[in-house]
């Protein structure tokens, strides 16, 4: 559910402060720490302040039949920027993610060039911040160019904030290289995501 348009009811503030707004999301299936439950959610000045029954506010949105959560995370998106923006870019992908209730996404390394070095991961992060709709978290490639021959610049990627490493649709075929990558990335504290398949 996209709430940005629902905040138009807020009166303009003075002295450059945020407007005082209250909003209740009524009767949705709230995804909370104790599991899903039908409830109301009171939001005040952009923050959830109460979850319960029969809550009241200036503005009420009927969420009957809808899922209400703090924001979903998509662990596998193909934004294709840089290099293949004609397929999808960070802005169009972020708009789609936001419209679907996602607040963060992990962008796979299947870009051109592949996200196999720190400066490329930083580019993806910076573009995500420029767009500003969702948190765009880059996955780093396991191998240079995702070609399965030589390890990517794993230390650089780690220092740039990458925590998930994947050659995505290009499965690392060399079992020894994959094992070395898994051990190395594990020592860094990262995670490897590998397609469990042998395309040969």
**What DSSP letter does each residue of 87-109 carry, written as one string?**
T--HHHHHHHHHHTTEEEEEE-S
46 phi and psi angles, rounded to 5 deg: 80, 5
| Residue 131, phi-psi category: left (phi > 0), alpha (psi -120 to 50), beta (remainder) | alpha
In this prediction, residue 10 carries a pLDDT of 54
- Range with the largest mean pLDDT of 10-19, 43-52, 181-190: 181-190
- Range with the largest mean pLDDT of 11-25, 45-59, 96-110: 96-110
Report pLDDT digits (tens) over 77-92. Answer: 999 999 999 999 999 9
Q: Which 3 state secondary structure label does DSSP give 5?
A: helix
CA 184/CA 179 separation, integer angstroms: 9
pLDDT greater than 60 at residue 148: yes
* Domains of the chain and CATH, by start: 4-68 (2.30.40.10), 72-192 (3.20.20.140)
Please tell me which residue, 198 or 196, carries the higher pLDDT value. Answer: 196
Rounded mean pLDDT, 121-126: 98
CA 140/CA 153 separation, integer angstroms: 9
């Amino acid at each position: 559910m996209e709430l940005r348009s629902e905040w138009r009811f807020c009166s303009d503030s003075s002295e450059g402060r945020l407007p005082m707004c209250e909003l209740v999301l009524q009767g949705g299936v709230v995804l909370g720490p104790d599991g899903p439950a039908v409830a109301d959610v009171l939001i005040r000045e952009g923050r959830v302040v109460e979850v319960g029954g029969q809550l009241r506010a200036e503005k009420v949105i009927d969420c009957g039949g809808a899922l209400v959560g703090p924001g979903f995370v998509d662990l596998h998106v193909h934004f294709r920027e840089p290099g293949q923006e004609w397929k999808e870019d960070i802005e169009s992908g972020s708009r789609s993610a936001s419209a679907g209730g996602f607040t963060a996404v992990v962008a796979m390394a299947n870009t051109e060039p592949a996200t196999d070095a720190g400066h490329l991961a930083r580019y993806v992060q910076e573009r995500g911040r420029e767009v500003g709709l969702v948190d765009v978290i880059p996955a780093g490639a396991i191998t240079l160019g995702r070609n399965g021959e030589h390890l990517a610049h794993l230390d650089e990627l780690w220092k740039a904030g990458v925590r998930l490493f994947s050659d995505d649709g290009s499965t690392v075929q060399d079992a020894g290289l994959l094992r070395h990558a898994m051990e190395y990335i594990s020592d860094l504290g990262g995670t490897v995501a590998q397609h469990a398949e042998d395309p040969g």
